[in-house]
Amino acid sequence: MQALLLSLALTSSAFAFHEHGQSRKSLSFGPILPHAQFIVNPSSSSLAATTTPGAVDADPRQVAIAFVNELNAQFAQDGHSYWVREDSYTDPASGVSHFYFRQLVRDFEVADGNINVNVYNGKVISYGDSFYKGDAFIFDFDDLSYKHSTSQHTYCDQLGQRYFELQALSFNNGQQTPLVGAQINQMTQIIDANCDTSRHRAQLEKIKAAHKDELRSPAHAALLFMVSASPDASLSREITDNFQTYLSQISVQNEVHFAGSDASGSQFSRSVDYLHNVPGTVSPVKARLAYVQSPTEDGKTELVLVWKLEVEMHNNWYEAAVSLVDPTVIVEVVDWASDAGATPERLGGTYNVWKWGLNDPECGERSIENSPYDEVASPLGWHSLPASKDAKSRNRRYASDHILNVTQTYGNNVYAHEDWEGRNEWLDNYRPDGGKNLNFNYTYDLKTKNGSWADPKSYINTTITQLFYTTNMVHDLYYRYGFDELSGNFQQYNFGKGGKENDAVIANAQDGSGYNNANFMTPPDGQNGRMRMYTWNVHGFPYRDGDLEAGIVIHELSHGLSTRLTGGPADSGCLGWGESGGMGEGWGDFLATTIRSTEDYSDYSMGSWAANETDGIRNYVYSTNMTINPSTYHTLDKGGYWGVHAIGEVWAEILWVVSNKLIKKHGWSSTLFPPVPDANGKVPEDNDFYRPATYDATGKPKRLVPKHGNSLIVQLVLDGMKLQPCRPGFFEARDAIIQADDILTGGENFCLLWKAFAKRGLGVDATVTGRTPWGGGVRKDGHAVPHQCTSDKH
């Protein structure tokens, strides 16, 4: 079986979904926890009685802690505890507090034991819970016979079995149906990307035997992980052949990090090892001991002690769980890389670009845009930042409060530059310089004088200017809808508004490490996000530059948005695989489509300019017309829907349908940017963006509500991301959006939203069973809506 599978070409894709995909190996799997749940409006039983003494102004932190303590009676037992994560925050716009609890069992972190509690007006309005519910047993470090109930091996075995069933089916029928063919094709990609470790099996067993007594060091775990994770087969072989040599080169440095406060209120710290010189990596590997949960056959979960590793490589950034007792076993792995990113004086800039809203060069001409930054989102403009926060100036001597005025394409939100060599180094890469007037005005000629296609390098100045512009616009737009410093956005400097700093987006234009794609790596808050944009050569030569297609850039940047907002800014492992990984793709397509859409309704495709294909690179164009795009929840069961991009396409389509229902009811806003408040922080009353201000009983102004359907859906989608639990499925994400509307508008769109979701199969009676980390399972479309929505009045 392996020989057959391995002989197939590596075709895993990134932004692109079918044939254009460029090969990037990406491991991605882990358990679907059977007990994980998301509950909206938890019933007011004993829980509410103890946690809501009726006080709207009760300390939300105390409310959340009391709630979690009551929810988990097991804390009364020995060995169970938690800590309140430091990245918890109260959203200043919505007033909702988001608390993130991480579980502790016998003082070990349970890395996938999460409770997110959303508190509003002194009450818990929803929560997600994936805490381990079993006994706090003492892990038997010496039980070498321990068998992992789920791991890479069990997932790959299952997948291999299904693969052969399907093969047999298609051979028996004498001919392959297109659907079965598509499914086999996708499974092949997943197998290639995730299951080729077995070629090293024999060597790994040998190393295991030879190193029996010291196997539990983090260096062993990291090195063995690299054997599986390296996309370079010769490096894997090098490591297995010279294991001892590589091991002796690794040096370990330990640091203790403050993590938050635990159940008893005392401070909780985590010990992290930094492993230097691990081959195939580009920065020290971080390792910490933790538990992860593993589903067993009886429907429960057990705890497995692992090394949690953070491994930054050239094309991947992994968070992996490697078994402590048998470090040749990878229990779960998430790739943070996702494919297909007193007001001081500030400086404007002048950019010759395809203006915001124009998706690509075929949608219109370039124009000169003056000072396009949003003053609220970018108080220093796009080109200034404190010298102490500039990655390029760190070693220079400036006063600590010195504000640098940069004349190149970088600033507080993004460092945009060429990366033709496709390297990881970026600080000193070429950036155009707009001079003291910040005038970025360059020529763009798609053809050379003699009529041949121009090498994209010849218009690199235009490309970088466009990438800098689009990335900053996305930063500013998402900021205005609440992706701010506290909730983990990407900025070098946070203006004292909370969250972690030094994490602007690194944007590589015309990145030489690939073609026909794009990708984004999202580490936790406080570390730079990294976006790589490629040129497209589907006609055999590079002739279109993905940097110039705003939809692709927006898709990539939206990975950063959804990853940081789901499950809290410090957890980048919440959208790894399956439905949650798919939605990670879908939000990007949906937001890109919403940003380009116009008042007159139209269907839209993704990537059609870069790929030079009318219908783009997804299976269907986004359309409210069921004939043109028939995707429903049940579509995920079909052949060909085993990858995150296909799953995401269905999610984006459902959101597109929901969005257009809202537009039908509330109309369409010509801009998605809210008006800038005046010096007193007041939005001008005569704006056409928000509904008229309203006030609560105490005379306090309530949160402003976007008036139109397209702006409202953007707000609900972002608010929903903050409410939903780590590793959400479609149901949880839907519920979170409906709850977001409840908080923002008092639930006036409750029935509209349910009806729209139900139209595409996500009604109250939709069901799913048997999901795997990648896809599959059995889904039933549900078209029913809550009983209060069944009358025609709504």
Ligand X SMILES: *[C@@H]1O[C@H](CO)[C@@H](O)[C@H](O)[C@H]1NC(C)=O
**Binding segment for ligand X among 179-187, 346-354, 603-611, 693-701 (CB under 6 A)?**
346-354
Determine whether the annotation assigns residue 339 to a binding site: yes
Q: Alpha carbon 319 to chain centroid distance?
A: 13
The single residue among 350, 371, 393, 537 that binds ligand X, judged by CB under 6 A, is 350
Q: Check: CB of residue 334 under 8 Å from CB of residue 30.
A: yes
- At residue 85, the 3 state secondary structure works out as strand
Rounded to whole angstroms, the Cα distance separating 781 from 762 reads 6
DSSP 661: H
Give ∠ CA 252-257-262 in degrees, rounded to 5: 135
Write down the catalytic residue from 109, 501, 549, 556.
Answer: 556
The contact mask relative to ligand X for 424-463 (x = CB under 6 A, - = no) is --------x------x-x------x-x-x-----x-xx--
371 makes contact with ligand X (CB under 6 A):
no
The single residue among 33, 330, 347, 504 that binds ligand X, judged by CB under 6 A, is 347
Q: Compare residues 228 and 462 and give the one whose CB is closer to ligand X.
A: 462
Q: Compare residues 242 and 448 and give the one whose CB is closer to ligand X.
A: 448
Residue positions counted in the chain: 794
Q: Check: CB of residue 386 under 8 Å from CB of residue 404.
A: yes
The contact mask relative to ligand X for 592-621 (x = CB under 6 A, - = no) is --------------------x---------
Q: Nearest distance from residue 450's CB to ligand X, in Å?
A: 4
Q: Nearest distance from residue 679's CB to ligand X, in Å?
A: 18
Q: How many residues bind ligand X (CB under 6 A)?
A: 22
Rounded to whole angstroms, the Cα distance separating 539 from 613 reads 11
Task: Extract the runs of DSSP E, i.e. beta strands, from 106-222.
Answer: 108-120, 123-129
Non-local CB neighbours of 768 within 8 Å, separated by 6+ positions: 729, 731, 777, 778, 779, 780
The b/e string for 203-235 (b: 16+ C-beta within 10 A; e otherwise) is bbeebeeebeeebbbbbbbbbbbbbbbbbeeee
Q: Compare residues 64 and 548 and give the one whose CB is closer to ligand X.
A: 548
Q: Alpha carbon 776 to chain centroid distance?
A: 21
The contact mask relative to ligand X for 390-409 (x = CB under 6 A, - = no) is -------------x-x----
**Binding segment for ligand X among 84-92, 328-336, 343-351, 565-573 (CB under 6 A)?**
343-351
Mapped to the 3 state alphabet, what secondary structure does 322-381 carry? EECCCCCCEEEEEECEEECCCCCCCECCEEEECCCCCCCHHHCCCEEEECCCCCCCCCCE
DSSP class per residue in 95-128: --EEEEEEEEETTEEEEEEEEEEEEETTEEEEEE
Q: Nearest distance from residue 435's CB to ligand X, in Å?
A: 9
Q: Compare residues 327 and 432 and give the one whose CB is closer to ligand X.
A: 432
345 makes contact with ligand X (CB under 6 A):
yes
Task: Extract the runs of DSSP E, i.e. beta strands, from 201-349.
Answer: 251-262, 267-276, 285-295, 301-312, 317-323, 330-335, 337-339
Rounded to whole angstroms, the Cα distance separating 534 from 517 reads 6
Determine whether the annotation assigns residue 585 to a binding site: yes
The contact mask relative to ligand X for 281-320 (x = CB under 6 A, - = no) is ----------------------------------------
Q: Compare residues 44 and 452 and give the one whose CB is closer to ligand X.
A: 452
- Identify which of 257, 477, 240, 256 has the alpha carbon closest to the alpha carbon of residue 357: 477
109 is known as an active-site residue: no
Determine whether the annotation assigns residue 425 to a binding site: no
- At residue 526, the 3 state secondary structure works out as coil
- Identify which of 552, 490, 483, 413 has the alpha carbon closest to the alpha carbon of residue 714: 483
Strand partners, 252: 275
Q: Compare residues 628 and 784 and give the one whose CB is closer to ligand X.
A: 628
625 makes contact with ligand X (CB under 6 A):
yes
Residue with tokens 């983090």: 218
DSSP 748: T
343 makes contact with ligand X (CB under 6 A):
no
Q: Compare residues 130 and 472 and give the one whose CB is closer to ligand X.
A: 472
Region 538-577 residues binding ligand X, contact defined as CB under 6 A: 539, 543
Through-space distance between the first and last CA atoms of the chain, rounded to whole angstroms: 56
Rounded to whole angstroms, the Cα distance separating 80 from 90 reads 27
Binding-site entries for Zn(2+): 339, 555, 559, 585
List interacting residues with ligand X (CB under 6 A). Answer: 345, 347, 350, 352, 368, 403, 405, 432, 439, 441, 448, 450, 452, 458, 460-461, 539, 543, 612, 625, 627-628
Which residues are marked as active site? 556
Binding-site entries: 339, 555, 559, 585
